Amino acid sequence: MTLASPVSTESGSTEPLLELRNVSKAFGGVQALDRVNFTVLPGEIHALVGENGAGKSTLVKILAGAYVPDSGEVIVSGESHATLTPQRARAAGIAVVHQEFNLLSELTVAENVFLGMLPKGRLGAVSPEKAARLTTAILARLGSDLDPRRYVLQLSVVEQQLVEIAKALAGNARCIVMDEPSTVLSPEELKVLYAVLHRLRDEGRSIVYISHRLSEVFALSDRVTVFKDGRFVSSDNTVEMTEDELIRRMVGRPISELFPERVPSIGEPVLEVRNLTVPGKLFDVSVTVRRGEIVGLAGLGGSGRTTLARAVVGLEDVAAGQILLEGTRVPRSPGPCARAGVVMVPEDRKAHGIVAGRSVAANLSLPSLRRFSRAGVLSFKREQSMAARLIAQFGVRPASTRVSIHNLSGGNQQKVVLAKWFDTSPKAVVLDEPTRGVDVGAKSEIYAIIEDLSARGVGVLLASSDLTELLGVCDRIVVLREGRVAAELNRSDASEESILRAAVASGTSDEPEIAPQAPQSRTEKQ
C-alpha cells in the first residue's frame, strides 16, 4: 500500500477521473436522480450545488456504494461499474466524507482511519503502534498534530472531519467526495479545511465539494455543477460563473420569492427565558419573544440553539433561571407545556418528530388526544375530521389521513409535525430547524405557515443554521456563542456577515452591541 505517495499527475491528461452517465435512482415512485451526467477531472476541486432535494445526497450515496442506481453507469478511471459496493468504491479510489460522520466514537483515531484495513505488525497481528505511526504521518500531511491514540468521542467536529479525510487518504483515495462539510465549521476551521483541500488537489487528487454556500463555491472550486430536482443542469468553470446566474440555475426563481410578505404586528411579551442555565450547555441566557413576533436563534453547531429550544419545553435539566409564558412559569415536560400553550418542534424529525409506522391521523392527534375523548375513550369521527382539516389547511400530500407517515416526503412529514400542534392553540411556538432536509416547495410553504402563526398573534422562536432563512423570516435575531447570548440583532441591522461575526467572535473588548428592543415601526399593536 502506497499510503504516503501522492498520485502521479501527468500534465495534459484530460481523461475524466470519475464519470456518471445517465444515472437514475427512484425511491418508491419519487425520482431522486433522473438520468444525470457528472464528470470529475483529475486534480480539480469540483463544487456540486443545488437546493435540498436536488439529488446531491443520493449521488453521494451512490458513489459511496450505499445505493444501487436503477440505471446508468459509473466510470472510474475508464472502468465502468453498473453498481458500486463500498469495497469497489474504495478499491476504485473513491472516498466519501459524509455530512454525518461515519466514525466509531468508541475506537481511536488511528483505528478509525484504518477501519477494515488495520496495518499488521509482527506475527500477522494488528499493530496499534504501527497504525498510530501511519496515522500521525497522514495527519501531518494535512497539517494536523492530532494524537492518533485519542478516542473519537473526545474530538471536536473539525477534528472528526480531519479524521474522515485522513481515512480517505489511508485508502489512497484519488477522488474525495465531501458532503456539505462547511455546515458544522466556524470560519477559522473552514480556513484549515480549505488549506487541506488545496494540498490534496496539489497532490493530484480530485475533490467533489457539495455545498449550498455560494461564497465558498466561488472561493474554493475550479468547476461547479448544478443539480435541480434530480436533474443535471450545468457544469462550468467557476471563474466563468456569476453568483446570480448560479442562484437562478439552482432555485429557478429569485430567493426573495421564497419568503412571504411580512407585516408584523408585535404585542406584549409572551415567552420569556430569563437567565437560563443548563449545566455545560447554556449559561445565563435571556430571550424574550413577543406576541406576533418571530425571533431567530442563530449560532454555530454546539452553540446551544437546540439546548435552548429543548429547555423551553422541559427536555433539559435546568440548573438556574426561569421560563415564563405570559408571566407564569411553564411546566417541566412537553405534555403539560402544550396544555399551557408553548410547544416545540424538534430538530431531528425522524428521531423526535414523527412516530413512524403510525398513520398521519394518529400523528396529528397525538398531542391533543384529550380533546377527542370522553373519560379516556376516543371519538374516531372527531379525530378524523380534525386530521382531514389540518391536512387540507397545511397542504399535506397525499391528502390521506390513513397513510403511514413514513411514506410521506420529508417536507410533508415536517408539515404534519408542525400541524399537530396547531389544534392545541399554542401561544408560543419554538421551531428547531423546521426546514432541514425539506425541498424548496415545502420550504416556502413552511415559511408561510410560520408567517401565518405570527399573524395570529403567536410568538415564534426559530432556531436555525440557515442564515438566509433567519434573515428572510425573522424580526429579530438572537445569536448564541458557546452557550451565551453573543448578540441580538434587529432585522434591519442583521446580515449574514454580522450574524457570523457575532457567532464566532473571540469575545475580547469588542462586545457586539445589543439591540435594546424591536424596531419601533413594528411595536404598534394591531
Partner 1 sequence: MTLTLAERVARTRLGPPSSWLRRNGAVVFVYLLVVVLYAVAASISPAFGRPENLAEILRQSIALGVVTIGQVYVLLGGGIDMSVGMTARVVGLGVAVTMGATTIPPILVIVLGLAVGAAIGLLNGVLITRIGATPFIVTLGMLGVLSGVALAITDGPTDVVPDFFFTMYDAAIGPVPIAVLVFLLIWAAAWFVLNRTTYGRNVYAVGGSADVARLSAINVHRTRTLTYVISGVCAAAAGIFLLSRSGVGDPGLGQGLEFSSIVAAAIGGISLYGGRGSIVGAFGAVLLVTMSSNIFDFLHVNGYFQQLVLGAIVLVGVSVYRTRGRQ
Partner 2 sequence: MTLSTAVDRSAAHRPPLAVQVVDWLSRYSAISTTVLLLIVAAIVTPTFYDETNLRTVAVQTSALGIVVLGQMVVLLVRGIDMSVSAVVAVTGVIATSAAGGGANIAISLAAAVGLALMVGLVNGLLITWRKVPPFIATFIMFIVVSGALLAYTKAQTSGSAPAWLRRVGSGSIAGVPLPTIIWIAMGLLLFGVLTRTIWGRYVYSVGANPEASRHAGVPVFAVTMSAYVLCALCALVGGLMYSGYSGYIDQNLGNNVNLNSIAAAIIGGVAFSGGRGGVLGAAVGALLLTVLTNMVVVAGLEIYWQLIAQGLVLIFAVAINGLRDRWIRDTA
Q: Which residues bind partner 1 (CB under 8 A)?
A: 64-66, 85-87, 90, 96, 102-107, 111, 115-118, 120, 124-127, 151, 154, 167, 317
Question: 63 near 96, Cβ under 8 Å?
Answer: yes
Q: Which is nearer to partner 1, 136 or 306 (CB)?
A: 306
Residue 106, contacted partner among partner 1, partner 2, none, CB below 5-8 A by kind: partner 1
Give the full edge-to-edge strand order of the sheet including 320-325.
282-290, 269-278, 320-325, 328-329
Question: Please, what's the b/e burial string for 315-337 (b: 16 or more CB within 10 A of its CB; e: otherwise)?
Answer: bbebeebebbbbeeebbeebeeb
Q: Report how far residue 486's alpha carbon sits from residue 1's, in angstroms, rounded to the nearest whole number.
A: 49
Q: Which is nearer to partner 2, 76 or 391 (CB)?
A: 391
Q: How does DSSP classify residue 198?
A: H
Residue 344, contacted partner among partner 1, partner 2, none, CB below 5-8 A by kind: partner 2
Shortest spacing between CB 93 and partner 1, in angstroms: 13
At 404 the three-state DSSP class reads strand
Residue 105, contacted partner among partner 2, partner 1, none, CB below 5-8 A by kind: partner 1
Cα 387 to Cα 124, 151, 494: the distances in Å are 63, 48, 39
Shortest spacing between CB 357 and partner 2, in angstroms: 5
Shortest spacing between CB 491 and partner 2, in angstroms: 30
478 C-beta neighbours (distance < 10 Å), count: 29
* Start-to-end C-alpha separation, the chain: 72
Q: Which is nearer to partner 2, 378 or 514 (CB)?
A: 378
The closest alpha carbon to 59, from 222, 225, 197, 238, belongs to 225
Q: Report how far residue 173's alpha carbon sits from residue 90's, in angstroms, rounded to the nearest whole number.
A: 7
Shortest spacing between CB 129 and partner 2, in angstroms: 36
Residue 87, contacted partner among partner 2, partner 1, none, CB below 5-8 A by kind: partner 1
Cα 194 to Cα 162, 183, 198: the distances in Å are 12, 14, 6
- Judge if the upstream peptide bond of residue 398 is cis by omega within 30 degrees of 0: yes
Shortest spacing between CB 337 and partner 2, in angstroms: 7
Q: Which is nearer to partner 2, 232 or 421 (CB)?
A: 421
Shortest spacing between CB 428 and partner 1, in angstroms: 24
Residue 333, contacted partner among partner 1, partner 2, none, CB below 5-8 A by kind: partner 2
C-alpha cell at 290: 413577543
Residue 403, contacted partner among partner 1, partner 2, none, CB below 5-8 A by kind: partner 2
Shortest spacing between CB 36 and partner 1, in angstroms: 22
Q: Which is nearer to partner 1, 82 or 104 (CB)?
A: 104
Shortest spacing between CB 53 and partner 2, in angstroms: 17
Cα 485 to Cα 89, 430, 481: the distances in Å are 45, 17, 6
Q: Which is nearer to partner 1, 117 or 355 (CB)?
A: 117
Q: Which is nearer to partner 2, 424 or 454 (CB)?
A: 424
Question: 174 near 205, Cβ under 8 Å?
Answer: yes
Residue 358, contacted partner among partner 1, partner 2, none, CB below 5-8 A by kind: partner 2
Q: Which is nearer to partner 2, 360 or 453 (CB)?
A: 360
Q: Which is nearer to partner 1, 107 or 455 (CB)?
A: 107
Question: 23 near 185, Cβ under 8 Å?
Answer: no
At 492 the three-state DSSP class reads coil
Shortest spacing between CB 119 and partner 1, in angstroms: 10
Residue 115, contacted partner among partner 2, partner 1, none, CB below 5-8 A by kind: partner 1
Residue 389, contacted partner among partner 2, partner 1, none, CB below 5-8 A by kind: none
Shortest spacing between CB 359 and partner 1, in angstroms: 25
Q: Which is nearer to partner 1, 36 or 84 (CB)?
A: 84
For CA atoms 108, 109, 110, 116, give the dihedral sign.
positive
The closest alpha carbon to 216, from 70, 379, 47, 83, belongs to 47
Residue 334, contacted partner among partner 1, partner 2, none, CB below 5-8 A by kind: partner 2
Question: Which are the contacts of 459, defined by CB distance < 8 A and separation ≥ 6?
Answer: 269, 270, 271, 289, 290, 291, 292, 293, 295, 427, 428, 429
The closest alpha carbon to 446, from 308, 353, 337, 315, belongs to 353
Per CB under 8 A, residues contacting partner 2 are 27-29, 313, 315, 333-339, 344, 346, 351-358, 362, 365-367, 369-370, 373, 376-378, 402-404, 406-407, 420
Q: Which is nearer to partner 2, 283 or 422 (CB)?
A: 422
Shortest spacing between CB 121 and partner 1, in angstroms: 9
Residue 154, contacted partner among partner 2, partner 1, none, CB below 5-8 A by kind: partner 1
